[in-house]
Structure 1
Amino acid sequence: MNQCSILVLHPRMALLRHLIPMPEPKKNIKVPTEVKAAIVSTLRSTRGDIRNDIKSAQQLGIQVGDTFLQACNAKGTSDALLAWHVATSILEVRYPHPTTSSSDHKSVATKLSCYCAYLVAYSPELLPDDDAWSSGMYKTTKKDASHVLGTAPTAMSMPEMEYRQLVELLLGATSKHNVLKDGAKLGEQLVELMEGEEEAWKALAGFWSEAVLCVAPSDNLEGHAEAIARGGELITLLWALLAHLGVDRRPEATTTTTTTMDASGIV
């Protein structure tokens, strides 16, 4: 699975030193076992009732209060994914060293977050939104994030202070899109409203596991064929698995649940 990020380490500051260094625009990693397990577990629990990512966010928001939902006013799937990607990165700054009990949840959340950011940036044709709009939004948001982080003052020494500095920087960002501000609000609420690090990472792992499933169904056969020709994509494997189970289109394109599957049918 390829990985990329909107928020990267700036050479003048250590604000994001806890994030995975990304010297190249994107990098490829082996899909971790915990990521595979989380996706399959989510698929079993939904029994084929795959929702769209905004509704997934709503489900998560119920656990921490109604105000959580007001932070993300995405127009489409791509900007919602990027806002949650920014929020996930913020949580990495606040909790740079995961506890033993939260390490798997953090791995699932961060790996799928960076994978979805990669999809928006490099394979938007595999997502529901218009290709050109998604790609342009990513480039604009990435440029705005680099500008904002480049104006940051001297880095703080404590995760709590670095987290607060990052949130304030992003909330004050001037951008054509709301991704950075929405992401900052979501990240802030994850830290402030969840009961500790473990609950926050667990919630994010659940969100990302469902999000990657709900963007996978597609009728873009040509796009997935080209992805296979390039060596394959995780989302293409999920697309094939869901099609095999009878989930062959995204939920917004249907009026009823496509299928109710037997959990024993997932290997």
Structure 2
Amino acid sequence: MVLFNDEIVQILWDTWNIRGLIILSLVLQCFLILVATFRKQMGGNSVFKSSLWVAYLLADWAATVTIGLIFDDRSYDITVLWAPFLLLHLGGPDTITSFSLEDNEFWIRHLLGLMVQICSTVFVILQPIRDNKLLLPTLLVFIVGLIKYAERNSAFYHASFDHYGDKIPNVSFLEKTAATESETESHYPGIMLRRELGPYGTIKNLLVGPLLSPHRRNLSRRAFLKRQSADQSRKVLNIMEIELSLLYETLYTKLPVVHCKIGYVLRIISLVCSFGALMSFMSITKYYKLRKFDVWLTYSLLISAIALEFISIGLLFSSDFNLLDHYYWQGNREIKFLYWKVEFDHMSTGFKNRCRWSKKICQNNLIANHFSDCPRWLVKLANFLSIRISNLKDRTLEDQEWDFIFDELTRKAQTAETVEEGKRLCLQRGDGILDDDGMRHLIWSIKELDYTESLLTWHIATEICFQVDQNTASGNTKYKAISKLLSDYMFYLLAWQPAMMATVSIDRKEVCKLAYHDLNDFFTERSDLDLQSLAKRVFSNEAPRNYVLKVTGYERTSVIRGARMLAHQLRDENSGFPWELMSKVWVELMCYAAINCGSHVHAQQTSKGGQLLTFVWLLMNHLGLGTQFSTEQHSQARGTELGQDQP
């Protein structure tokens, strides 16, 4: 007995294809608007990122395909009503417009898609217009869909780098409010936020704006150098979290488009039209018989549209963009409000306790990669197929670790009185610390090696020292932990985030592969070694006189050989390993990578859970250690060219 034949399958498809895709589209919209709000702090989670990416792609696909199906089947008034709902869904939720920065650059393609979809929807509505009993709710929903889709395309346009800096003022927000410092500042940290976090402040200039003036640099530098206690360093971290949150909201959401006078008017029109469509549909269905399932599906679409609208409005008013932009226009009258808002975000719990960054620091280690938790047969298979298996782990950034990084950067910034001096300090990648501490004999590990080789040499040497010193009681536990954290973090960036390592000028894969191959020479039987035993075996061998190997007639740098030599030079028989010095070198190595990483790459990280390197980059620029500041001569020349005075 045949349960299904071609005729039954065709009937089922004709009945449920449009309805099934509309349900899918509705579910995806609800998923996106609720889940995308956690993107800033969970974007680095691979499961979360993958599910959000799939939902983002499926949402556009489902809406587009369904409009095409309705275009072919306009025999029912109810299906004509569903067409503008798909236009509304193509507008997407306010919490996510683009998945990546590249989406914003294709705003012309999205504009063309808007025109095509609008024409298709208008054609669907106009065909049965004379006999359509649901024409009024259809037209009302069409207005809402048109507004939503236009908002999304406007968000793409304004977030593209060609137009992102259009609204940057010539006179910075910092300079306008520099005179507002008073005794009130000690009671209301909102003034500090207002002075340093204008809606088009420093971070926007760092992305696409002109070079920052020396006057603006000095204002920012003085403001941040005042806050050198442990408690103040965490407040500075919170300020930068808000700044990066603003950056995320302007690049990946509709908030800049919605948060304006026109946006508010359009939002009111959307709500009125949505309620009008619901009321008119309720009255029409009393006299016009429809399939019960279709009626309930339409009610679900209408009610969900209204509910998601209210959710979007709530998210808009609770956003950092709205908070600081509102304060920007209201001025000092809003000091108490801003103070209460910022404190409330930190002191309350639950939904109001806002998390803007995951504070997760990914860790990876070249030596530890030899000891994967995967079964041995899987490791052998991966090696045979030339597939790398590594142990990626997460660490939460502790307060004392951030305090140490902040103290090191402020110490460095205190000597950077001029723009030229700040730029010079940015070129240091460990040699500055070694010079200051009288460790000139270690300069070879910085100056004579490429940045990749230097980083790997210090990474392996740090791991060797850490394992050898594992069971040794010392007072350097804090610095040992910081050195280990930054060493594994920088190797993770080198191996897994090469876009953030713009300083790499040679084949990083080849260098890592050679180092991994050299490490294999210390294995006899894999089963008789663990991580600590391997590190001690590498360290216990006699230190080489140099780090150059002759292999089949040519010379190449051996990272393992250099790391062994560095570890022996770091070891002091009386005092052990200089962990404080090593941790400072790692901070300088990280600063060098941060300041040489492209600003657009840092902007991408705001949607992926954030990176410590991005916070270091932003802090360096606030302290006047960036490379995007103009000199006095450049500022005067630019002022003459523009015909106006420059600070």
Q: TM-score range by the shorter chain?
A: 0.7 to 0.9
Distance in 2, Cα, partners of 1:223 & 1:138: 23
Q: CA offsets per residue over residues 121-141 of structure 1, 9 Å max, x none?
A: 112222242477234422432
Asked if the contact 1:3/1:27 (under 8 Å) is kept, the reply is: yes
Q: Which residue of 2 aligns with 1:2?
A: 362
Q: 1:37 to 1:67 in 2, by over 3 A?
A: same
**Displacement after TM superposition at 1:208 (Å):** 1.3
Aligned partner of 1:239 in structure 2 is 617
Three-state SS of the structure 1 residue aligned to 2:396 is coil
Q: Residue 463 of structure 2 is aligned with which of 89, 96, 114?
A: 89
Matched with 1:264 is none
Distance 1:160 1:179, change over 3 A: closer
Give the total of aligned pairs: 238
> Distance in 2 between the 1:215 and 1:172 partners?
25
Question: Which letter does structure 1 place at the counterpart of 2:429?
Answer: D
* SS state at 1:129 partner: coil
Higher relative contact order (CA 8 A, sep 6+): 1
SS at match of 1:28: strand
Instruction: Choose the corresponding residue for 2:587, options 205, 209, 212.
Output: 209
Q: Which deviates more from structure 2 when the two are superposed, residues 135-144 or residues 201-210?
A: 135-144
Letter in 1 for 2:617: W
1:146-186 per-residue CA deviation (whole Å, 9 max, x = no partner) reads x2232479669999964643666997988854322211111
Tell me the SS of whatever aligns to 1:216: helix
Residue 55 of structure 1 aligns with which residue? Answer: 431
Note if 1:28 corresponds to 2:407: no
SS for the counterpart of 2:368 is coil
What is the CA–CA distance in structure 1 between the aligned matches of 2:565 and 2:506, rounded to whole Å? Answer: 26
How many angstroms apart in 2 are the aligned matches of 1:221 and 1:29? Answer: 25
Q: Which amino acid letter does the alignment assign opposite residue 55 of structure 1?
A: D
| SS of equivalent residue, structure 2 residue 595 | coil
Identity of aligned residues (%): 18
Residue aligned with 1:217, SS: helix
Instruction: Give the whole-Å Cα distance in 1 for the aligned partners of 2:535 and 2:456.
Output: 23
2:515 matches 1:149: no
| Contact 1:72/1:83 (<8 A) preserved | no
Partner Cα separation in structure 2 for residue 45 and residue 185 of structure 1 = 30
- What is the CA–CA distance in structure 2 between the aligned matches of 1:130 and 1:180, rounded to whole Å? 19
Shift of 1:236: 0.9
CA positional deviation for 1:230: 2.0
Q: Could you say if the C-alpha distance between residues 68 and 24 of structure 1 is closer, same or farther in structure 2, counting changes exceeding 3 Å?
A: closer
**Do the aligned residues in 2 keep the contact of 1:2 with 1:26 (CA within 8 Å)?**
yes
- CA–CA separation in structure 1 for the residues paired with 2:514 and 2:608: 26
CA contact under 8 A between 1:77 and 1:128: conserved in structure 2?
no
Amino acid at match of 2:558: N
* Amino acid in structure 2 at the alignment position of 1:6: L
Matches within 5 A, 1:75-224: 75-99=449-473, 101-130=475-504, 133-145=507-519, 147-151=520-524, 162=537, 164-165=539-540, 176-192=556-572, 195-197=574-576, 200-218=578-596, 220-224=598-602
Q: CA deviation at 1:238?
A: 1.1
Alpha-carbon separation, structure 2, partners of 1:246 and 1:107: 28
Q: Match of 1:185, as an amino acid?
A: M
Point out the more displaced range, 93-102 or 166-175: 166-175
**Structure 1 segments unaligned to the other structure (5+ residues):** 12-22, 256-267
What displacement does 1:34 show?
Answer: 2.7
Hey, what's the Cα distance between the residues in 1 that align with 2:535 and 2:506?
38
Which amino acid in structure 2 is aligned with residue 165 of structure 1?
S
Distance 2:630 2:523 in 1: 45
With over 3 angstroms needed to count, the CA separation of the structure-2 counterparts of 1:225 and 1:166, relative to structure 1, is: farther
Tell me the residue number matched to 2:124: none
Distance 2:618 2:517 in 1: 34
Rate the CA distance shift 1:158–1:234 in 2: closer, same or farther, 3 A.
Answer: closer
Task: Select the structure of larger CA radius of gyration.
Answer: 2
SS in 2 for 1:111: helix
CA–CA distance in structure 1, aligned partners of residues 539 and 504 of structure 2 = 34
Q: TM-score, normalising length from structure 2?
A: 0.32
Q: Contact 1:242/1:248 (CA < 8 Å) preserved in 2?
A: yes
Q: Select between 93-102 and 68-77 the one with higher mean Cα deviation.
A: 68-77
> 2 CA distance for matches of 1:100 and 1:207?
20
RMSD: 3.8
Unaligned runs of at least 5 residues, structure 2:
1-360, 372-388, 417-421, 632-647
Compared with structure 1, are the counterparts of its residues 158 and 223 closer, same or farther at alpha carbon in structure 2 (3 Å cutoff)? closer
Matched, 1:43 2:409: yes
CA distance in 2, matches of 1:210, 1:72: 11
Q: Give the partner amino acid of 1:148.
A: D
Q: Which amino acid aligns with 2:579?
A: W
Once residues 73 and 235 of structure 1 are traced to their aligned partners in structure 2, the CA distance between those partners, rounded to angstroms, is: 23
Shift of 1:8: 1.9
- Alpha-carbon separation, structure 1, partners of 2:529 and 2:550: 21
- Tell me how far 1:85 sits from its aligned partner: 0.8
Q: CA contact under 8 A between 1:120 and 1:138: conserved in structure 2?
A: no
Deviations 1:213-252 (A, max 9, x none): 23211361222222222221110111122223333339xx
Mapped contact 2:486–2:586 kept (Cα < 8 A): yes
Q: For the residues of structure 2 that align with 1:132 and 1:159, how far apart are their CA atoms? A: 28
**Could you say what secondary structure the match of 1:241 adopts?**
helix
**Which runs of 4 or more aligned residues in structure 1 lie more than 4 Å from their structure 2 counterparts after TM superposition?**
71-74, 152-163, 166-176
